[in-house]
């Protein structure tokens, strides 16, 4: 992410001592990408920031970390000062006791942070999608919602999200099928559905009520696989060879032939 003066990159760093993987935030000068500053956390066996967003004074980074010697993972969100990369606020989310949370998507809108990812909840599938709403000022948790099917063979993941001030759009997999879902309504999020409709993007001038996720639900009747034609339109750089592979999969798995 860039603010026109600096480039801010987040990710992970593998150390030479103990082979640990640590959270990483890097700041570069936008002219020539000269390294301006670097900061990373220590003491984690496996940790990574997966998404970064900026406002005027802060960097917001979301991802995952596992403490030393632990197989459990927690979703992590950090608010970092842009000036010196010092940590302002750090927050970890463990919505279920199994502690298998990873954050992939992050957006800022109307004084809130919207985060998407995956977690694990017994009885709701092996991997379940999660969306959380946090207060932008102190990262306090306002809402958390998990989405999962009852069969243990189904996996649901929210990989990314976008917010236009009225709706949340997510790009996901549901039981290994691609899905684009739209959550509608500012006060109450309606059931997600697939459609071409998008609202004009706008950035609220003041902090507004967070979009409720309490009543959101993913139903099979509101999801479908993307056709090869739709994939070709979305990714025109795919070669004919790659498209032929998709068509073969289409025939094997009974996709729509459109």
For the chain, the distance separating the N- and C-terminal CA atoms, rounded to the nearest angstrom, is 37
Range scoring the smallest mean pLDDT among 24-28, 217-221, 224-228: 217-221
State pLDDT tens for residues 220-249: 334 455 666 777 776 676 777 777 777 776
Task: Verify that 139 and 164 share a domain, yes or no.
Answer: yes
Other beta carbons within 10 angstroms of residue 55's beta carbon come to 12
In the structure, what pLDDT confidence band is assigned to residue 190 with cuts at 50, 70 and 90? Answer: very low
Pairing of β 168-174 and β 74-81: unpaired
**What pLDDT, on the 0 to 100 scale, is given for residue 92?**
80
Residue 36 lies in a domain: yes
Taking the C-alpha atoms of residue 211 and residue 143, their distance in angstroms, rounded to an integer, is 9
State pLDDT tens for residues 89-147: 888 887 666 667 888 888 888 888 888 888 876 545 567 778 888 888 898 888 877 77
- Residue 64 and residue 51 in contact, taking contact as beta carbons nearer than 8 Å: no
Other beta carbons within 10 angstroms of residue 183's beta carbon come to 25
Count of the separate structural domains present in the chain: 2
- Interval 17-39 mean pLDDT: 61
| 63: containing domain | 6-224
Residue 201 lies in a domain: yes
Burial of 85 (C-beta count, 10 Å sphere; 0-12/13-18/19+): middle
Taking the C-alpha atoms of residue 45 and residue 67, their distance in angstroms, rounded to an integer, is 6
> Is the confidence at residue 219, as pLDDT, over 50?
no
Task: Verify that 119 and 135 share a domain, yes or no.
Answer: yes
State pLDDT tens for residues 52-67: 888 888 888 888 777 6
């Amino acid at each position: 992410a860039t603010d026109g003066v600096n480039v801010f990159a987040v990710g992970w760093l593998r150390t030479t001592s103990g082979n640990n993987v640590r959270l990483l935030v890097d700041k570069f000068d936008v002219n020539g990408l000269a390294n301006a500053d670097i900061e990373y956390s220590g003491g984690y066996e496996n940790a990574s920031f997966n998404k970064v967003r900026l406002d005027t004074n802060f960097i917001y980074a979301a991802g995952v970390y596992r403490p030393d010697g632990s197989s459990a993972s927690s979703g992590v969100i950090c608010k970092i000062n842009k000036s010196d990369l010092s940590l302002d606020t750090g927050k970890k989310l463990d919505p279920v006791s199994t502690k298998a949370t990873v954050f992939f998507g992050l957006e800022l809108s109307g004084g809130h942070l919207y985060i998407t990812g995956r977690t694990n909840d017994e009885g709701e599938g092996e991997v379940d999608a999660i969306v959380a709403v946090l207060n932008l000022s102190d990262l306090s948790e306002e809402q958390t919602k998990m989405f999962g099917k009852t069969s243990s063979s189904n996996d649901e993941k929210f990989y990314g999200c976008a917010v236009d001030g009225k709706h949340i759009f997510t790009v996901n997999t549901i039981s290994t099928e691609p899905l684009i879902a739209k959550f509608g309504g500012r006060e109450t999020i309606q059931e997600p559905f697939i459609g071409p409709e998008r609202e004009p993007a706008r950035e609220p001038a003041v902090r507004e009520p967070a979009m409720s996720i309490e009543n959101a639900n993913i139903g099979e009747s509101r999801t479908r696989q993307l056709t090869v034609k739709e994939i070709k339109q979305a990714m025109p750089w795919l070669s004919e060879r790659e498209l032929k592979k998709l068509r073969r999969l289409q025939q094997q798995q009974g996709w729509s032939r459109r």
